[in-house]
Structure 1
Amino acid sequence: MTGRTLRQLSLGFAVLGGGVACVVAAMTVTSIVMRALLSRPIAGDVELTQLGIALSISLCLPWAQLHGANIIVDFFTQRLPDRVNRRLDALGALMLAAMCALLSWRTSVGAIAVREAGETSMILGLPMWWAYASLAPGLALSGLIALVQAWRCWRGGPLVEN
């Protein structure tokens, strides 16, 4: 997969994640206003908020990883040679790729198990496997981007392309 394809995919995921967050925000405001004025909030607003924000975060992770927007603590490494720092960046990116792959795999397995169990949310009765399954694509793409970044750093390039 090329850098351009990863960039387009992660941008699409981020735009979708941002859209989901906006819908959740609008629903939350509407529910609060309805609660204040009519004493009738949107049923299941907390469930929908939890599901929506989890999805939004998962979808925005690849974009953040692509741009190196994660926190980097370089207090102990700032005086090391560039080559050593790039190798450490490669190792960190490789560890993140492994973690994202593991999380993507386990959320997928969890989605299957929850689907087979027929578990639903308490108020709306939404199938809970949707929540698990919706997390896997963002985690998988984040892992793939981190793997590409690890390879790039190991070969002497920067963690993030400009």
Structure 2
Amino acid sequence: MFRALRALTLWFALLGSAVAFGVAVLVTWSVVGRAIWLEPIQGDVELTQMGIALAISLGIPWCQLKGANIIVDFFTQRLPAPTIRRLDGIGTLLLAATYALLAWRTSVGAFSVHEAYESTMILGLPMWWSYAALAPGLGLACLIALVQTAMHFAQRPLAALEGGAA
């Protein structure tokens, strides 16, 4: 199961990176077009907003898997290791709840925006696409955080999930 989660998380991160790269090319082309030909790409801001939101959403599971979140351990660094693991378990459980809430609300938002026929101002793209695209990344991050929570409470090393030696 860990191998499948790692592989899926890696594919999400690679796709998110490709989207971010595509947005960078789009913005560069639009700026150059504006400077040289006085002709920017129409809807570049809309595409940038949607693309970067998608890229971030797809990258969050990888960050969660690798434990790349900010940890403030000033008050806990001298506690016994089992206590720290329990606190880390509580932290990952809270993150899982947050990811679940965000995935749920973006899904509900996608349905709501779809029913209202909302679209972007310049290109007229359906807004629900943007909302719906966020949910899979948030859902995968939630799953990763739940697995990490179980591992923390079982006092199992996270290296098995992350891809290192167990």
Q: Same fold per TM (> 0.5)?
A: yes
Q: Provide the rounded CA distance (Å) in 2 between the counterparts of 1:110 and 1:26.
A: 29
Q: Provide the rounded CA distance (Å) in 2 between the counterparts of 1:20 and 1:37.
A: 25
Q: Provide the rounded CA distance (Å) in 2 between the counterparts of 1:109 and 1:125.
A: 21
Q: Which residue type is aligned with residue 66 of structure 2?
A: H
State the shift of 1:158 in Å.
3.2
Hey, what does 2:70 align to over in structure 1?
A: 71
Which residues of 2 match residues 55-70 of structure 1 at below 5 A?
Answer: 55-70=54-69
Hey, what does 2:127 align to over in structure 1?
A: 128
Contact 1:150 1:159 in 2 (8 A): no
| Cα deviation digits, residues 18-69 of structure 1 (max 9, x gap) | 0000000000000000000011100000000000000000000001100001
Q: Provide the rounded CA distance (Å) in 2 between the counterparts of 1:158 and 1:24.
A: 37
Hey, what does 1:105 align to over in structure 2?
A: 104
Q: Provide the rounded CA distance (Å) in 1 between the counterparts of 2:115 and 2:59.
A: 29
Aligned length: 161
Q: Provide the rounded CA distance (Å) in 2 between the counterparts of 1:47 and 1:156.
A: 46
| Cα deviation digits, residues 66-122 of structure 1 (max 9, x gap) | 000111110110000000000000000001001101110110010000000000000
User: Structure 2: where are the runs of 5+ without partners?
Assistant: none
Hey, what does 2:42 align to over in structure 1?
A: 43
State the shift of 1:159 in Å.
4.3
- Runs (4 or more) in structure 1 with deviation over 3 Å come to 158-161
Q: Provide the rounded CA distance (Å) in 1 between the counterparts of 2:146 and 2:17.
A: 24
* SS of residue in 1 equivalent to 2:79: coil
Hey, what does 2:27 align to over in structure 1?
A: 28
Q: Which residue type is aligned with residue 87 of structure 1?
A: R
Q: Which residue type is aligned with residue 30 of structure 2?
A: S
Hey, what does 1:53 align to over in structure 2?
A: 52
Q: Which residue type is aligned with residue 90 of structure 1?
A: G
Hey, what does 2:12 align to over in structure 1?
A: 13
User: Structure 1: where are the runs of 5+ without partners?
Assistant: none
Q: Does 1:146 align with 2:133?
A: no
Contact 1:86 1:159 in 2 (8 A): no
Contact 1:90 1:159 in 2 (8 A): no
Q: Provide the rounded CA distance (Å) in 2 between the counterparts of 1:3 and 1:75.
A: 31
Hey, what does 1:91 align to over in structure 2?
A: 90
